[in-house]
Amino acid sequence: MDTVSLTGKDLAAAINADSKARAAAFAVAPRLALIVANADPASAWYVNSLRKAAERLGIACDTVDLGADASVETLRAELAARSADPAVDAIMLQTPLPAGVTLDDVSSSIAAPKDVDGVSPLSLGLLATGLPGFVPATAEAVIELLKHHEIPLVGKHVAVVGRSNIVGKPLAQLLLAADATVTVCHSRTPDLAAVTATAEIVVAAAGRAGLITGKHIAESATVIDVGTNESADGGIVGDVDADSVRGRAAALSPVPGGVGPVTTALLMRHVVDAAGNR
C-alpha cells in the first residue's frame, strides 16, 4: 500500500499567515518572554528558531537567560515577575531545567493567561475538565494535523505511546474530547506491539528513535510521529522506523516536517491569543 505523508508545512503556513495578520492589528506587538536556564545546545537551537518564528510574525520576543545553575527560587521569582508584568503577554519556560529542578517545581509560577505552552497545573487541570485554557502545543499539533488531513477521530481507537505531562497525557485528554477511544502506553507496558497493533491510529511520543516498527502497526493504520531524537549525523529522527512502517501504514507523519512546524505555529498563535487577553 502507498503510505501518505502527513506533512505539517502547509498547515503551519496557514496558521502563521493568520497569526501574522492578527499580530499586526495590535497597537503594541504581542510580546513573548522565553525563560532559559540551561547550557544545552539543542535548547539554544530551539530558542533561536522560536525567536525567528516570532520575528517573522511580528511578535516581540525577549530571551531571559538565568544560567544553568539557577535555583528553584530564582526561576519561580522570574516567572512570577513576568506573569505580573503587563508588558509581557506570553511566557515559555525552556527545558531542560537546571539539575535537580523539575517543571513541577516551578510551573505553577506561570500565570495561566500567559502560559502559552499549557504547562502549569492550572492549565493542565482546565484541559482535564474541558474548560478553556492554553493546551500544550505539541499535543494540540497532533489533533490539528489529523484534522487537516481529514483523518476522523470519533469512535477510533488511538494508542498514544508516552504519558508525559506535556505530550502524552494532554494528548490523551484532547483525543477523549474528540470522542476517540484512547489507550495510553508507557515504558512499563509489557508488550507494546500487542497494544499498538490493535489501534487505528498510533501516536509515538516516547523520545526513542526507531521504537515503533512495522510489527507495532495494524495494516492501514495512521501513524503520527511526535519524537525528535538526534541522529548519528546530527540531524533529527522520530520514534518511528519509517522504512519498516511505510507500505503497511495508510499514513505517516514525517520527522522533520510533520508535527514540529505545526507545534511552533500553534505556540505563536497562542502568543497572539494571549495578547488578546490584555
Ligand X SMILES: NC(=O)c1ccc[n+]([C@@H]2O[C@H](COP(=O)([O-])OP(=O)(O)OC[C@H]3O[C@@H](n4cnc5c(N)ncnc54)[C@H](OP(=O)(O)O)[C@@H]3O)[C@@H](O)[C@H]2O)c1
Q: Residues annotated in the binding site, as ranges?
A: 162-164, 228
Amino acid at 20: K
CA gap 176, 174 in Å, rounded: 5
Show the cell assigned to 227: 519524537
Q: How many residues bind ligand X (CB under 6 A)?
A: 26
Identify which of residues 29 and 61 has a Cβ nearer to ligand X in the complex.
Answer: 61
CA distances from 256 to 9, 121, 266 (A): 10, 30, 16
Query: 115: which strand partners?
Result: 91
Is 49 a residue that touches ligand X (CB under 6 A)? no
Q: Which of 112, 159, 180, 211 binds ligand X (CB under 6 A)?
A: 211
Is 118 a residue that touches ligand X (CB under 6 A)? no
Identify which of residues 126 and 160 has a Cβ nearer to ligand X in the complex.
Answer: 160
Q: Which of 5, 7, 164, 244 binds ligand X (CB under 6 A)?
A: 164
Residue 238: which of 255, 221, 252, 222 has the closest Cα? 255
Residues 6+ apart with CB under 8 A from 161: 168, 185, 186, 192, 196, 202, 203, 204, 205, 206, 211, 212, 239
Is 138 a residue that touches ligand X (CB under 6 A)? yes
Cβ of residue 113: shortest distance to ligand X, in angstroms? 22
Is 187 a residue that touches ligand X (CB under 6 A)? yes
Which residues sit in the known binding site for NADP(+)? 162-164, 228
Q: Which of 65, 229, 254, 257 binds ligand X (CB under 6 A)?
A: 229
Residue 255: which of 227, 213, 230 has the closest Cα? 227
Is 278 a residue that touches ligand X (CB under 6 A)? no
Q: Which of 226, 245, 252, 274 binds ligand X (CB under 6 A)?
A: 226
- Asked if residues 106 and 72 have their Cβ atoms less than 8 Å apart, the reply is yes
- Asked if residues 33 and 92 have their Cβ atoms less than 8 Å apart, the reply is yes
Cβ of residue 175: shortest distance to ligand X, in angstroms? 15
Question: Which residue ranges make up the site for ligand X (CB under 6 A)?
Answer: 138, 161-164, 166-168, 185-189, 192, 205-208, 211, 226-229, 259-260, 263
